[in-house]
Amino acid sequence: MLDRLSLRLRILLFFVALAVGAVAAIAGGLWFALQRDGGQTVPPALISGGLIAAFLVLGLVTWVWFLFDQNVARAIEALASAIRARVHAGIEHDLAAEARAARYLGDLAPAATAVTRTLVETRNALAESVARETTRLAAEKSRLETLLADVPVAVLLCTADHQLVFYNGQAVDILGGGTAPGLDRNLLDYLRDGPIRHAYDRLVGAGDPDMASDLLCATVSGGRLLAGRMRVLRRREEGIAPGYVLTLRDVTADIAAHTSREALLAEVFDRVRRPAANLQTVIGVLSELEGAQDAPDLSAAMLDEVGALTQAITELGARYDAVQSDWRPLVATRSADLLDGLKGRLQAEGLALETEGPELIVQVDGFEIVAFWAWLAGRLAAEGTARAFRLVLDEEDGPGAVMRLCWDGAPLSVGRLDQWLTEPLGTATGELTARAVLKTHATEAWPEQVNDRSAVVMPIRNARRAGRRPPPIARKVVYDFDLLSKARNAAVADTPLSSLTFVVFDTETTGLSPATDEIVQIAGVRLVNGKRVETEVFDTLVNPGRGIPPASTDVHGINDSMVVGAPDIVEAGRRFHKFAEGAVLVAHNAPFDMEFLRRKESAMGLAFDHPILDTVLLSAVVYGQTEHHSLDALTARLGITIPEEARHTAIGDTVATADAFLKLVPMLRARGLETFGEVVAEVRKHGRLLKDLNG
């Protein structure tokens, strides 16, 4: 029972017992003296002397307890907390402040300082040794991450209950629309669950680790159709169902193009069949009436049907040519890269090529275009027409461009070019013909004269002038394979802190009154499996719908002009609620931030009913109520530096709070507080500091 009480409380009880015992001893001594003297009444002087002695003893005991509490008990607690922080939170600076407070503890403080210094040195030496040994592994890991980040399909690794363990950059585009989907989030929040569950159950039931299942699924919003392949992992943990790898490719545009082509083909048969049948009927009637004297003149009917058939074929052919390139993966290519490849190809065949024109971004199949011009130059050289060429790229007024292959020599006739276009481009391209290349790009080619030089012209449908190269987009892969072995409990209270997902957040406001002020910024970061996921960050300004007082701007630096066009609290709150879905919320002085959010719940149409932890109360559990628990004081004790420019910004304070929380968790565990429920029960003992918001 007593071992559950704090050291200071146990010492207080000891001195209370000492005081009570001393008073009882004085009273007992007086009573014994009276019994020996046989007195029937107690002299007033004796009573006064006893009371004075009792008060003096109580005062002396209280004074000694106060000195003992200030210089021994509190010093021991501070020293213990500091040692625990250095053991479990990785803090490296010396125990200077704690040693000064523990100066009356004899050699304990210097001994503790020496132990922690040795611990830090040993830990640093071990870290350096591990770092040296793992340099090669880290390089291999980096190469693998780079490779997976640029894979042209979305790659996902999920647990058996569909929680995300790994995703790459393509998955961000497909699932999140440019926003990271989130580690340990449920994949079925983004994809319709039927095909995913069916494929997984089929693979698990088959029991073949080499078996894969193709599937077709849609996003929850229904905006995208995805083709995927699933494979169950070989790794099997005892009592944990195996996870799976899922690759996804967006086939929405492919299916739309295929549907369009099928519809066009059906229309071709419908529109050609009718006039062809009528024409066949007219011809049959003519053959039957051949030679008759009174045979009607059916030539007009025949001409009408032939005209209708010709018009249908011409119109449908034009529409087919227009959609010919829709289903082909034409890639945006820099013209400089295209022309350089063509120049190298011709030089390898002993031909000369000069190029000119602006640098454009053209939408083409680069391989086919290079093969086409190389084939044409080779064909002209084989005919003895020319061996030196100039390729001119001209920008058009519209969205297109024109490519001209020019040479000095005899011009090429239209009939000759049309005859060549039916030929294959060469052995390297198989049966691909020059005409097929033109159809793929929905264009034509023809000969003409340009400044007394012969040329063949090919228009390019889609082209634009190349601008400055944009900065590369970070396509990091995000993963935590330990999540595959993570045991999940239904009740949050029974779940260890290390198994929970946290969203640490902070807000900036127009003032300090939740009843009258408004939020101007919300920021949050996700902590998964004891680590901060750097790519999963929420940070948005909020339009408060009112002016921001200059005094508030002086604190957080946000003024009225900065929030123009920002979402209001309803939209921003819904987005943050989605970001924090399924997580435990963590904040420093959480009642303040939560009051602002909960006041807008009815307008948002949702509830912030997440479990909540407050780093103020966690600091009180670790360091005691008598310490300062501001964010600055807490981070200073934990060796965390907040950049001056980041202080009092939502994202800066959020990151600092997250780092502090990650250091507090192992210190709580060292005190025997493992589960969320145990931590909440402990923080409620410090309710005079702040109200706990759970339950």
Question: Which pLDDT value is given to residue 42?
Answer: 62
Question: Which pLDDT value is given to residue 3?
Answer: 64
CATH code of the domain in which 633 resides: 3.30.420.10
109 within some domain: yes
- Are residue 563 and residue 644 in the same domain, yes or no? yes
484 within some domain: no
268: domain range?
260-288+297-323
- Are residue 343 and residue 319 in the same domain, yes or no? no
- Are residue 349 and residue 430 in the same domain, yes or no? yes
- Are residue 69 and residue 196 in the same domain, yes or no? no
36 within some domain: yes
Query: In this structure, what token pair is assigned to residue 564?
Result: 């123009």
Q: Which of 131, 162, 185 is the last residue of a domain?
A: 131
Question: Which pLDDT value is given to residue 59?
Answer: 86
- Are residue 543 and residue 661 in the same domain, yes or no? yes
Those residues of the chain that have pLDDT short of 70 are 1-4, 36-42, 46, 88-102, 104, 106, 138, 140, 145, 147-150, 176-180, 222, 235-237, 253-307, 309-310, 312-329, 466-476, 487-490, 695
- Are residue 163 and residue 210 in the same domain, yes or no? yes
Its pTM stands at 0.61
Sign of the torsion formed by the C-alpha atoms of 30, 32, 34 and 36: negative
CA–CA distance, 26 with 552 (Å, rounded to integer) = 63
693 within some domain: no
73 within some domain: yes
CA–CA distance, 187 with 204 (Å, rounded to integer) = 18
- Are residue 41 and residue 101 in the same domain, yes or no? yes
* Angle at the Cα of 422 from the Cα atoms of 421 and 427, rounded to 5 degrees: 95
Question: Which pLDDT value is given to residue 529?
Answer: 87
- Are residue 395 and residue 543 in the same domain, yes or no? no
- Are residue 592 and residue 620 in the same domain, yes or no? yes
395, β-bridge pairs: 401
Nearest to 466, CA basis, from 621, 308, 278, 337: 337
563 within some domain: yes
CA dihedral 185, 186, 192, 196 (to 10 degrees): 130
Question: Which pLDDT value is given to residue 179?
Answer: 58
Question: Which pLDDT value is given to residue 385?
Answer: 84
Instruction: Provide the domain count of the chain.
Output: 5
- Are residue 422 and residue 568 in the same domain, yes or no? no
- Are residue 421 and residue 545 in the same domain, yes or no? no
Q: DSSP secondary structure string, 392-415?
A: EEEE-SSS-EEEEEEESSPPPPHH
476 within some domain: no
- Are residue 385 and residue 270 in the same domain, yes or no? no
CATH code of the domain in which 173 resides: 3.30.450.20
Question: Which pLDDT value is given to residue 70?
Answer: 79
Question: Which pLDDT value is given to residue 376?
Answer: 92
477 within some domain: no
Question: Which pLDDT value is given to residue 604?
Answer: 94
Q: Three-class SS of residue 589?
A: coil
